[in-house]
Structure 1
Amino acid sequence: MRVGIIFGGPSREREISFAGGRTVYDNLDKALFEAVPVFVDSLGNFILLDWHFIYKGTIRDFYPPVDVLPESEHGLQVYLESLGELSIEEQDKIIAKAGKRLQPNEFRNHFDFAFLALHGPYGEDGSIQGLLEWYHIPYSGSGILPSAIGIDKVAQKEMLKQHGFPTPDYRIINYSQWSEKQNRPQIFEKLVADLGLPLVLKAPHQGSSIGVSIIKELDFAAFEAGVERSFFTKTIYKAQWLAMGEEKQLMSIKQLVDIREGIGMPVQLENGTIVYHPEELFNHINKTFTSSATDSITLTNIEHEQQVLVEAFIRGKEFSCIVVQDEQGQPIALPPTEIVKGSEVFDYRSKYLPGLSRKITPINLPTEQIQSIRQATSRLFTAFGFNVYARLDGFITDSGEIFLNDPNTTSGMLPSSFFFHQAAEIGLNPSQFLTYIIRTSVAERLESGKDTVKLTKLLAELDKSIKEEQAHRHDKIRVGVIMGGYSSERHISVESGRNIYEKLSSSVKYEPVPVFLTGSNEEHRLYTIPINIMLKDNADDIKEKVLYFENGGEPHPVLAQIAEEAETITRKYTGSTLQEPQRISYSQLKNLVDAVFIALHGRPGEDGALQAELEKLYIPYNGSGIRSSQITINKYETNEILGKHGVPVAKHRMAWKEDWQKDKEAFFQSLEADFPYPFIAKPADDGCSSAVKKIKNRSELEAFTTLIFREMEELDTECARTLSLGFKEEFPNKQGFLVETLISRNGAKHFLEITGGLLTTHAPDGSVNYEVFEASEALAEGEVLSLEEKFLAGEGQNITPARYAADPERRQKISDQVKEDLKRVAQILNIEGYARIDAFVRVLENDEVETIIIEVNSLPGMTPATCIFHQTAINGYKPYDFIDRILTYGVERTKMKATV
């Protein structure tokens, strides 16, 4: 069946839609479906997307294409709507660079079924559903009416009341009422009198917690800012703006035009003028404030909300529950998940970056209360006429009262989303759950009485294919995917492992087996884990569950009941039921699998220790061998070896705890004598940007040293503040750290940070061939690339291929030189399988190239958003193809060793 995945779109959630569309594209079962990517741009054009672009980190990395972007003095990123009013011809030229324009009447020539991964207005509100019905294309999820209800928070409130569901008391602020500025203090007073504090402010047609604020105190300024945020308007005050300085002004503009955290573009000025580009806006603000007496500027997004929903705050546990439909059309509420947040609002970052919030499934409550939540959500699913699946959110108070709000007809589809997290509790992996969604949606469209002959045939063919696939499950190569670990990189390791698992589970060749590793350097503890534990929120949650079962814990009674209710679904799509985690030895691992994919980062995994255990038993694995791994895990040793071979590296040295303990002042003076500020300090044997800091002065050096050499697990709050550590940012504890000079332009005409991937294959004579990919140019918002920029969908920007020069021929010539330099590094270090090498590139006046190596990752991150997939796509490898080649190399290497 050809499945058109419709993703992107005009809404503020387009980046989550884009990342979700990629998840669906990669996870559709290749034995059953042909995935057809249909990208919707922010003007609503449908584009049959060239598949290479799916693996870009964000929409702005490829659309609009770099060569149609206007000059931006400050490098401000934009979406298509910032290019101004474009004619159809201009739009067509842009579209042609990304794929082929699709008119809705052409849909049926390209796909038989539409999988909707769109969010927000135009995607969840019945618009796209109506369009598809008009053109006789069956689609996923709810129909037109429930979708229209599911997007409108105000209409939902009325319906919840009508159907007898408790819902927080609320009021509405109309835009016209708010525009009369003199009314605002009275509006605030009245709301506080009616609803009390805290107040919850919401943009009524947005998802992903966009435009949401909580006003906890009698603070009119905070209230005014929160309401403006929900309306997507912003007032900038002259005194504050001029006091910032250019760097902070630019950061402020970036936040302002962000479609998730700010108001987005284009904006309308008070005189009615529309400003499209952030650079134009930046210049306008500066010009207005320096050349006129105006003391403030109010900006309003051209698609601002007309109302703000204000709700009374509910004190209680927050939950989210996915409700699905069985084959008889009856709702089954999956186990509700409790959201434990680090801040008051479960915001965009908390939702989509692993480790920032916790999802506890099922919610930590007595069984009767969990069942009450399930009954309430099932009843709401039926009352609102939802179909196939929905995500229903709410609160339960200490007295047991359940408040439901924000019913959603779709859900985020990132690997960490509730959507997959809860489906795993009935034993469905993401690939199987997507098959369930498609099959149930086709059956639901059949209920509408339209296209009955065509849909009956489509359903029968799909059922036959599902049965045939179950019969051949045991013919596949079994791959143990090892994830987790015990370093500060364990959460990213789990994300990488899940991504590898998911790519393999949708293939016709491999059957992945999730394996969780914990313990210590002295003792690796391996566990096979079922899908529901693998999809827990992060590595710490997985470890907690594994130890619970190891110590004799029983499955939660609610989970056992849901598994029973959903048994017909589970057996149809998996052929089996959920198992408990099992502790295994390396010898038992050998009997379970044909090969291993190590998805660990840092120690253990990249240090050769795990490889040594696998080699004893001739278990094939991915990546470099023992000695190469031992070298590349240590950035100091890597620098030393490369330096001896004449490869440019930063000036470097180790700083040791024992020297610091002996004489702190001498320790600091010695570093300052060798390394003028600013310089880089980082752990020598951790990756993923963990604790990599630009040290600008003595107080930052002291704070960094105190934290990394601390005796306690807790971080000193004053030191954390000095280093501007992010929320829940981990900071490892070490005996030494690496100090490097800050690599700078040094007179080069072009200077950029890059990250380059490579893949190896065996030549007929047994030697190793290196395929080095086009490197990505990494753009950091702050002083160094952050965890979010590397691994969170929609964050950061990686331009692939890197922009070494404007002229294509010169760019390629420079790129070829950089690739040669990276290849030489790989050969010196005896890298095998695949790797990622980070470097700075200086392009000198005569186009001479200097590639300065920062670090070498022998097991690079393999999360869905990582830029290595952008690079492999240029060479024609989809992520699955790349993973397949990595595994094939490992299997061949083991065979060659076994025959020696």
Structure 2
Amino acid sequence: MKIGIFFGGQSREREISFAGGRTVYDNLNKSIFEAVPIFIDSKGHFIILDWQYIYKGTIRDFYPPVNFLPKSDLPVQIYAESLKNLSDEDWDKLIAEVGQKINPSDFKKHIDFAFLALHGPYGEDGNIQGILEWNGIPFSGAGILPSAIGISKIAQRQLLQQANFDGPKSIVLNQADWNNQPHENIFESLKKELNLPLVIKAPHQGSSIGVSILTENDLAKFESLIQKSFFELEINKSDWDKYNYEEKISFIARLVDIREGIGLPVIIEEDLIYTPEELLNFLDKTFSTQKEVIKLKAIDSEDSLLIESFIEGKEFSCIVIQDENGRPIALPPTEIRKGKDVFDYRSKYLPGISRKITPIDAPQDIIEKIRTQCSDLFKALQIDVYARIDGFITKEGKVFLNDPNTTSGMLPSSFFFHQAAEIGLNPSQFLSYIIRTSLKARLKSGKHHFEFHKMIKQLDRDLEGLKKKAQKKINVGVIMGGFSTERHISVESGRNIYEKLSSSEKYLPIPIFLSGNEDQHELYTLPINIMLKDNADDIKDKIKNYQIHPIISQIKFESSEITEKYASITNTALKKISYNDLPELIDVAFIALHGRPGEDGAVQTELEKLNIPYNGSDVESSKITINKYDTNEILKAAGISVADHRLVYEDKWQSNREAEIKAIEQQLSYPLIAKPADDGCSSAVKKIKNRAELEAFAGMMFRPQAEFIEDLATILKLKKNEEFPQKNFFLLEELIEKKDAKHFLEITGGLLTHFTEDGSINYEIFEPSEALAVGEVLSLEEKFLAGEGQNITPARYTPESENYKKVAEQVKSTLKKTAEVLNITGYARIDAFVRVYEDLSAETIIIEVNSLPGMTPATCIFHQTAINGYKPYDFIDKILSFGTEKMKKQTIAK
């Protein structure tokens, strides 16, 4: 069955849709489905996307293609709606660079079924559902009517009230009233009716976009938040004039961000401004004429806002699905524990920022009450297949339901997969369930009845065939977690490897969680529901306090028909194991750990004792590359450029701080880079601009307790929940700058090794990606959060494409030499800066080597492997095959 995955779209949630579509593409069972990626751009074109673009970090990394972008010196990427004056012929040429444009009337030629991973307007509002129904294509999820209701928070609130569901008090604020009435009067009226805090919502947005909470009695703050939800902004001349050039660019980047800002094009009076550079020039020019205020408005804004009273209580989210007979089953509701009032975009999608507790921490009768009301709402809105329903439970036990979503986020650790795992379905199995149940739901329309029945029967035969397959698979132990600051990203990497392998016909992945400390590793096999907990700390906590909640047992019983039909392979049980148990359990290990342990050779040492093949470099090479100082020293001795560097030790710092600072300042000048010497993933990497920041960094690194020292954290501008390790030494490096180079950029380059016929190692160096940091250093979000970061692959060494190869070969030569000097095998990622001079000579300065690079869905190593023809699964297969062959050669050599 050809499954068209519809993703991207025209809404502000398009990046999460893009990432969710990639998850579906990767997890569809390859034995019975053929995935057809149908990308919808922000102008509404339907495009069968060439597969390699699916693995880009963001839509802007590939669309619009670089040769269609307007000339600009600003490091701010744009979406397709910023292109103006393109003819239909121009759009056809543009689209042809990334795939094949199709029209809805052509859908039947390419797909049998549409899996909708779209969010927001045009995706969850009945629009796409109507197009598909008109063209005879069955689709996933809810039909047209519940979708049209589900998109509008105002319509939802009215219907919930009419159906006697409890909810917060609310008032609709129309833009006409906002524009024509005194704001102070509106504010006073809202406070009188609803009290503080006020919850302000843009009614047609998801992912918490346009949602704010006003806690203080502050008119100016109230006006600002209302404007934010209307997607409007007033800029004052006095504020603009305070910014330097870099600050203006940063302001523009935030302003055009479609999730937090207005986006582009932007309306100013009667004119449209399309690009960041146009906007910057307009603001500079207009404010130079002494104009005091400029008003900006999004081209797609809201006409009304929903203002609600604040609910004191626990926030939850509950996925409701249907059984074989169409009866709704509410899965175990998940409690959301967040670091701030709003469960915002960053909290939702970056691991480690918030906590998801399943089931919600509440008495069983309260949990059952939540489930009953969610099921009742599912029926009241006539939703089919599945929905995600959000709400609150108050201290008094009242259930407030406030946001039924007919499409849930589909990232690997989203509520969608997280709760399905509680009944024993892995993502691949859950997607099969959604497709089959959606086909049955479409029969209700009375259209194409014979055709859809035929598809259901064929799918049932295919599902039954999966159970009968007795093919021996290769058991892969996917080791994830750890106890470093990189543990959350490690879990994301491990889950991604698990999901890529679980939908294959060759491998059977077994998730293994590593915990403990450097002296004693603790290993646990994980069932799918624990593996899909939100982050490493949640997994560790669940292992420590493991018990099957009675409500989970009940829901498993209620949904047993579903699990028997779709869970063809029994889940792994939670069990504490030792390294010595592994030979009976696995054939090969994929170490998805980052930092210590994992990249330091410790796990590799244990696996080698047991002759278990593994991915990545061997013990000795790993011991070197984990230490950035040792790596720098070895590369420097080999004639490879590195940053000037220095280690700072706690004992020296504490015994004679002044002398140590003086020695540092004699060797290195501000600004400089401070970082842990044996951690990665951007943990605690800071640009240090003065002595006060240096002392704050040392104070935080050498702090005696895990808790932050508040005044030092403030100096370093640390975010809440940001990972900042405690170490007894750290690394200082000179800040690498452009100097007299013509072009200067930061890159990250991947590699893969192969055995030649004579047994020697051949290095395949991928085309590196150019990484554009928004802040002072490349952040965790930019590396790993879907929709964040600006990675351009291949890197832009020069504006002239004809000069690319000459520079690229020099850079790749340095990366290869680096790998050879450090005896890297398997695969790796090397970070560097590149200076390109007038004569096209290139100097590559190596910054960091990762022997087990991040393998999260959004990481740029997959962009690079795609250029060489490897899908992520192919790349992982090559890594495992090399590791297996390497172990065979070592065993023979012994």
With the length of structure 1 as denominator, give the TM-score of the two structures: 0.98
Query: Deviation digits for residues 508-567 of structure 1, max 9, x if unmatched?
Result: 111100000001111110000100000011101101111123xxxx31111111111111
Amino acid at match of 2:285: K
- The 5-angstrom pairing of residues 74-473 of structure 1 reads 74-180=74-180, 182-270=181-269, 272-292=270-290, 294-472=291-469
For 2:693, the equivalent position in structure 1 comes to 700
Equivalent of 2:527 in 524, 530, 535 = 530
Separation of aligned partners in 1, 2:728 and 2:186: 58
SS in 1 for 2:654: helix
Q: Any residues of structure 2 matched to 1:457-856 within 5 Å, and which?
A: 457-472=454-469, 475-549=472-546, 554-575=547-568, 580-856=573-849
- Give the Cα–Cα distance (whole angstroms) in 2 for the partners of residues 268 and 847 of structure 1: 42
Tell me which amino acid in the other structure corresponds to 2:603. Answer: L
2:62 corresponds to which residue? Answer: 62
Distance 1:578-1:760 versus aligned 2 partners, 3 A rule: closer
2: distance between equivalents of 1:808 and 1:773?
18
Partner residue of 2:871?
A: 878
Letter in 1 for 2:890: K
- Cα 1:58–1:41 change in 2 (3 A) is same
SS at match of 1:475: coil
State which drifts further: 69-78 or 370-379: 69-78
CA contact (8 A) 1:132 1:139 kept: yes
Q: Structure 2 CA distance, aligned partners of 1:298 and 1:280?
A: 15
Please say which of residues 647-656 and 531-540 is displaced more in the overlay.
647-656
Rounded Cα–Cα distance in structure 2 between residues aligned with 1:341 and 1:656: 35
Segment drifting more, 606-615 vs 646-655:
646-655
Deviations 1:813-867 (CA, angstroms, capped at 9, x unpaired) = 2111211111111111111110000011111111111111101100000000000
The question of whether the paired residues in 2 share the 8 Å contact of 1:681 and 1:738 is answered with: yes
Letter in 2 for 1:150: G
User: Which residue type is aligned with residue 53 of structure 2?
Assistant: F
- Does the aligned pair in 1 maintain the 2:525–2:572 contact within 8 Å? no
Please state how far the C-alpha of 1:158 moved relative to its aligned partner: 1.3
Secondary structure, aligned partner of 1:731: coil
The structure-2 alpha-carbon separation of the partners of 1:230 and 1:85, relative to structure 1 and needing over 3 Å to count, comes to farther
The 3 A distance-change label for structure 1 pair 555 and 577 is farther
Counterpart residue number, 1:24: 24
**TM-superposed deviation, 1:280:** 1.0
> Which 10-residue stretch deviates more, 675-684 or 871-880?
675-684
In structure 1, distance between residues paired with 2:268 and 2:616: 55
**Residue identity matched to 2:15:** E
In structure 1, stretches of 5+ residues that fail to align are none
Q: Report if the CA contact (8 A) 1:529-1:582 is conserved.
A: yes
Decide whether aligned partners of structure 1 residues 565 and 441 sit closer, same or farther in structure 2, where only a CA change above 3 A counts. same
Cα–Cα, structure 1 residues 761 and 306, in superposed 2: closer, same or farther, change >3 Å?
same
For the residues of structure 1 that align with 2:364 and 2:166, how far apart are their CA atoms?
21
* Partner Cα separation in structure 2 for residue 732 and residue 218 of structure 1: 38
Give the residue type in structure 1 aligned to 2:485: S
**Distance in 1 of aligned mates of 2:621 and 2:125:** 54
Distance, in Å, in 2 between the alignment partners of 1:316 and 1:739 is: 46
Inter-partner Cα distance in structure 1 for 2:474 and 2:210: 47
Question: How far apart are the structure 2 equivalents of 1:441 and 1:464?
Answer: 17
Check whether the contact 1:601–1:860 (CA below 8 A) recurs between aligned residues: yes
Residue 336 of structure 2 aligns to a residue in which SS? strand
**Superposition deviation, residue 95 in structure 1:** 0.8
- Give the Å deviation of 1:295: 1.6
Identity of aligned residues (%): 62
Whether the 8 Å contact between 2:336 and 2:357 is mirrored in structure 1 is yes
For residues 380 and 318 of structure 2, what CA distance do their matches in structure 1 show? 16
Aligned partners of 1:844, 1:465: CA distance in 2, in Å?
A: 59
SS in 2 for 1:291: coil
Unaligned runs of 5+ in 2: none
CA displacement, residues 750-787 of structure 1 (integer Å, 9 cap, x when unaligned)? 11110000001111111111110000001001111000
Which segment is superposed worse, 862-871 or 80-89? 80-89
Given that 2:466 and 2:568 are in contact with CA atoms closer than 8 Å, whether structure 1 keeps it comes out as no
Letter in 1 for 2:314: K
Distance 1:591 1:585 in 2: 11
Q: Compared with structure 1, are the counterparts of its residues 474 and 570 closer, same or farther at alpha carbon in structure 2 (3 Å cutoff)?
A: farther
> Does the aligned pair in 2 maintain the 1:174–1:308 contact within 8 Å?
yes
Structure 2 distance, partners of 1:462, 1:839, is 49
Please give the alpha-carbon distance, in whole angstroms, between the structure 1 residues aligned to 2:188 and 2:84: 41
Residue deviations 1:154-195, cap 9 Å, x none? 111111111110111111111111122x52211111111111
**1:116-142 Cα shifts (integer Å, max 9, x gaps):** 011000000000000000100010000
| Cα displacement (A) at 1:72 | 1.8
Whole-Å separation in 2 of the counterparts to 1:825 and 1:580: 42
Are the structure 2 counterparts of residues 454 and 693 from structure 1 closer, same or farther at C-alpha, using a change threshold of 3 Å? Answer: same
Deviations 1:620-653 (A, max 9, x none): 1000001011111011111111111111111112
Any idea what SS the aligned residue of 2:552 has? helix
TM superposition shift of 1:577: 5.6
CA distance in 2, matches of 1:762, 1:508: 25
SS in structure 1 of the partner of residue 750 of structure 2: strand
Q: AA paired with 1:218?
A: N
Summarize the alignment of residues 34-73 of structure 1 with structure 2, pairs less than 5 Å apart: 34-73=34-73
Aligned partners of 1:426 and 1:578 also within 8 Å: no
In terms of mean alpha carbon deviation, does 763-772 or 383-392 score higher?
763-772
Contact 1:571 1:577 in 2 (8 A): no
Change (3 A) 1:172 1:635: same
Alignment RMSD: 1.1
Counterpart residue type for residue 77 of structure 1: Q
**In 2: Cα distance, 1:275 partner to 1:739 partner:** 43
1:835 corresponds to which letter in structure 2? A
Contact 1:570–1:576 under 8 Å retained in 2: no
CA distance in 2, matches of 1:727, 1:474: 49
User: Quick one: which amino acid aligns to residue 178 of structure 1?
Assistant: W
Name the CA distance, whole Å, in 2 between partners of 1:745 and 1:281. Answer: 27
Report the CA distance between 1:73 and its aligned residue.
Answer: 2.9
Aligned partner of residue 545 in structure 2, secondary structure:
helix
Task: Report the residue type matching 1:718 in the other structure.
Answer: D
